[in-house]
Structure 1
Amino acid sequence: MLSLFSAFMVSTWMFEGRSHNFIAEKLVTDGKNIIQAYQRAPSAELGSFVQSFSGLSIYTIQLYNKTGAPLLEENEHMHVEQSNIKQVLGGNIARTVDAETHGLPIVGVPFSVKGDPYALFLTLDKNTVEQEQENMPWIHALYILVLFIGSFLILIAARYVVNPIMQLTEATKRMAKGNFDSASLPMNRRDEIGQLSVSFHDMAKELAKLDQMRKDFVSSVSHEIQSPLTSISGFTKALKQKKMSEESRLRYLTIIEEESERLSRLGQNLLQLSYLQQEQLPLKVTTYRLDEQLRRGVITLEPLWTKKEINVVVDLEAITVHADKDQLDQVWINLLNNAIKFTAPHGTIRIQSIGKAHQNIVSITDSGMGIPEEELVNIFKPFHKVDKARSSSVKGNGLGLSIVKQIIDMHNGEIHVSSSLGSGTIFTVTIPSET
């Protein structure tokens, strides 16, 4: 409202100034036309000739002789200063404004007749001006109407902009309380607010996923910890019984030892995963033979695969890599250990490596039960276990593949898995030649 009112006042002031200049120039032009008309009829009497124009035009006219005396009938609506009369008699055009005639412009035009100077002054006729001023209230009312209509339209436009922002504010408050629902946001708009709403909606979806992952993670950790603790607590209470055979006592102690080791592995894996997820963690890159590292991994796990009489086929090219050796050791040990776990006795595991110009590819193939296709997208998530591909006797806490994925990502590599139930599983790791 203030801006519109200010604009109205400034534009009125500018228009008034321009209109006065326009009227003054028009008066000068008409004054010269009157003089030229008289000069074309020199036999006419000057005073009567000019007086006739005053009666027929919309102007009030006055004529002054060389002494400054008026030659036409005095008009109370036209007041000319003697200084302006002298200026015109001196041969100059005079422009002034008479405050007593409602601020209308007055101009004086010089001319001479038979060597005598004269001054012709013109201004608008007061009656004509008053008639126009009678129409001014209607014009002012129109301006005020436009002002209010414009203000109303601006308020509507402001609400159109403010309402979605208020909705975004409410959605932000809900999000702060843990509610990630953003379905009410105006995402169909094509403007910047619509783009902001879409971005906010995407952010809310991602935060909802992260929140669900956090809840799942806490639930999984709690389950993984509670299960061995329950076993340890139960068998410890059983050991307190006095009447127990030595065989039962040793069996209970063995279970307690295994569950304690399970808790220890869980703690170590959680610490390692947290350690790897620190983006500022530097890699200790060295140059070494990747094929020899894979062979050492196979030899390290020999007791496990020989116990199940698994046939291990090694087909390795001589490859030199620049990577963190200790970190990749964990990758190969985890993948080989998984392959041994889920391969039935007398099965086959194949390990291959291929070196290319800019990348090295390692694949580990087993003949196990395989993984359902719908589970493949989740196997790298912490604590994810594929129940159909595991038996209750298989040890693990679901963190191994998460650690593998994190290490491969740190080396700017990729890991892919292809599998289906009953046809085994293939893990393919791609590592750049230089990390």
Structure 2
Amino acid sequence: MSLITAFLLTTWLYESRAHGMIQDVLAENGTQMIEIYQSTPSAELVPFMQKVSGLFPTLLQLYDREGKPLLEQEWPLQVDPADIELVLAGEKFNGMKKAENAHMPKLPVVGIPFQADGQPYALFVTMQSNEIDMELMNSIHLLYVLILFIGSFLIIIAARYIVKPIRRLTDATKRMARGQFDIELPTKRKDELGVLSVSFNQMAKELGKLDQMRRDFVSNVSHEIGTPLTSISGFTKALKQKQMSEEDRLRYLTIIETESERLSRLSQNLLRLSRLQHDNKPLKISRYKLDEQIRRVVIGLEPQWAEKDIEIELDAEPLMIEADEDQLGQVWINLLSNSIKFTPESGKIVIEASMKYNKIVVSITDNGMGIPEEERADIFKPFHKVDKARHSSVKGNGLGLSIVKQIVDNHQGDIRVLGELGTGATFEVTLPMGQQ
């Protein structure tokens, strides 16, 4: 389309502008010839015009009042009688006329009226056939053809350069759709396709992580459900035996009850986490005293920390907050229960709540073993446990901190873990004073 447009534009420029300029030159030359003749009294009209024709790069033809040509020479154009009559009547003529030779293009022609010896004449002036002009136009047309073929060839090469990475990307997306996420595209290019490849590699890596999390989640759920179910099934079969002491029977029933409660807690936590992650219902915002809420949580968990003879130190400023009271209460219960769980006998837990930089900061610090640096990025994932062996002495299913993280995120807050391994762990929650 570009070449066709260029061809039409070139033709238009040549015919409209170049031909217009040529016609002006022809009119000027014809006028000068007439003036020279009129300034030479002894000159005869027809011989004079016959001699000057061809001196300039022009050809002349002279018509009398009857429209007959007077010059005996080769005249390449077909002049209409109506145009001759127009010039004889005193009007100038400018136009393009077909040549006698059909292979020649149209030529510009100018008709100029004048009188000699009281008789009207029409002098028509045209340019001589210029082979150079024809060769120039043919060269331009040939150039267009060369541009077409060379440009098409270069476009094919460029298209392969562009399409090849797109095909590679298409193949990678198909592999990803089949569940293969270990894909890495070359990223040496610096253009938009290179940026797209980098983004695709990042997406593949993140989807791989999500897929691994999904597998771990299924594995962890199976483990958390399978263990108590195995215990319940085993001890239920044991209870069917007739020869069993009352003490053993009560012990087996206690184990079954404990494992049933463990399953119940697991299902409740899974349901709570799912609702927090997918429920679009707005938070039930209310304004209340945060320090009083934390005190009530500490008092409510007294049986747990008193059983381990743990010292609780609470330093909470009077704080008002706008938040979902029930959900934040679950945050403090989970965090404090977690600290009690990992604090040794006769240990100490410090709870602080204060205002810093127009935000509320609550920290809960224990003096347990702490959390390794490499584990801190994963402790808020579902079912993640720092205790890889899942020792039975430490109760829990690894969902408490996931619930805490989701609630804090829903409140546009932040939670992080501080402390050094062996000296205890600090969970620090930062919350805005009010919800937007």
Instruction: Report the TM-score, using the length of structure 1 for normalisation.
Output: 0.90
Q: Distance in 2 between matches of 1:130 and 1:430?
A: 89
Q: Is the Cα–Cα contact under 8 Å of residues 370 and 421 in structure 1 kept in the other structure?
A: yes
In structure 2, what is the equivalent of residue 207 of structure 1?
207
Q: CA deviation at 1:398?
A: 0.4
Q: CA deviation at 1:366?
A: 0.7
In structure 1, what is the equivalent of residue 229 of structure 2?
229
In structure 1, what is the equivalent of residue 377 of structure 2?
377
State how 1:4-83 maps to structure 2 within 5 Å.
6-7=4-5, 10-11=8-9, 13-15=11-13, 17-18=15-16, 19-75=18-74, 77-83=76-82
Q: Is the Cα–Cα contact under 8 Å of residues 185 and 197 in structure 2 kept in the other structure?
A: no
1:46–1:199 distance in 2 versus 1, CA, 3 Å:
same
Q: CA deviation at 1:389?
A: 10
Q: CA deviation at 1:390?
A: 7.3
Q: Distance in 2 between matches of 1:154 and 1:86?
A: 57
Q: 1:87 aligned to 2:71?
A: no
In structure 1, what is the equivalent of residue 123 of structure 2?
120
Instruction: Report the TM-score, using the length of structure 2 for normalisation.
Output: 0.90
Q: Please, which runs of 5 or more residues in structure 1 have no aligned partner?
A: none
Per the alignment, in what secondary structure is the counterpart of residue 203 of structure 2?
A: helix
Equivalent residue letter for 1:25: D
Per the alignment, in what secondary structure is the counterpart of residue 296 of structure 1?
A: helix
1:108–1:181 distance in 2 versus 1, CA, 3 Å:
farther
Cα-to-partner distance string for 1:40-86 (whole Å, 9 max, x where unaligned): 54443332232222243433211223443433215353332222222
Q: 1:176 aligned to 2:177?
A: yes
Q: Is the Cα–Cα contact under 8 Å of residues 169 and 197 in structure 2 kept in the other structure?
A: yes
Q: Distance in 1 between matches of 2:161 and 2:324?
A: 57
Q: 1:105 aligns with which of 105, 108, 113?
A: 108
Equivalent residue letter for 1:250: L
Per the alignment, in what secondary structure is the counterpart of residue 195 of structure 2?
A: helix
* Higher deviation after alignment, 241-250 or 296-305: 241-250
* Higher deviation after alignment, 150-159 or 226-235: 150-159
* Higher deviation after alignment, 291-300 or 396-405: 291-300
In structure 1, what is the equivalent of residue 164 of structure 2?
163
Cα-to-partner distance string for 1:391-422 (whole Å, 9 max, x where unaligned): 54010000000101111111111112102221
Q: How many matched pairs? A: 430
In structure 2, what is the equivalent of residue 322 of structure 1?
322
1:33–1:194 distance in 2 versus 1, CA, 3 Å:
farther
Q: Is the Cα–Cα contact under 8 Å of residues 60 and 78 in structure 1 kept in the other structure?
A: no
Q: Distance in 1 between matches of 2:47 and 2:158?
A: 64
Q: Distance in 2 between matches of 1:180 and 1:391?
A: 33
State how 1:260-271 maps to structure 2 within 5 Å.
260-271=260-271
Q: Distance in 2 between matches of 1:26 and 1:161?
A: 53
Equivalent residue letter for 2:249: R
Q: Is the Cα–Cα contact under 8 Å of residues 78 and 98 in structure 2 kept in the other structure?
A: no
Q: Distance in 2 between matches of 1:161 and 1:42?
A: 79
Equivalent residue letter for 2:171: E
Q: Please, which runs of 5 or more residues in structure 2 have no aligned partner?
A: none
Q: Distance in 2 between matches of 1:40 and 1:165?
A: 80
Equivalent residue letter for 1:144: V
1:31–1:107 distance in 2 versus 1, CA, 3 Å:
same
1:285–1:108 distance in 2 versus 1, CA, 3 Å:
same
Q: Distance in 2 between matches of 1:7 and 1:72?
A: 43
Indicate the percent of aligned positions where both proteins have the same amino acid. Answer: 57
* Higher deviation after alignment, 397-406 or 58-67: 58-67
Q: 1:349 aligned to 2:352?
A: no
Q: Distance in 1 between matches of 2:337 and 2:90?
A: 115
Q: Is the Cα–Cα contact under 8 Å of residues 77 and 98 in structure 2 kept in the other structure?
A: no
* Higher deviation after alignment, 344-353 or 20-29: 20-29
1:178–1:40 distance in 2 versus 1, CA, 3 Å:
farther
Per the alignment, in what secondary structure is the counterpart of residue 122 of structure 2?
A: strand
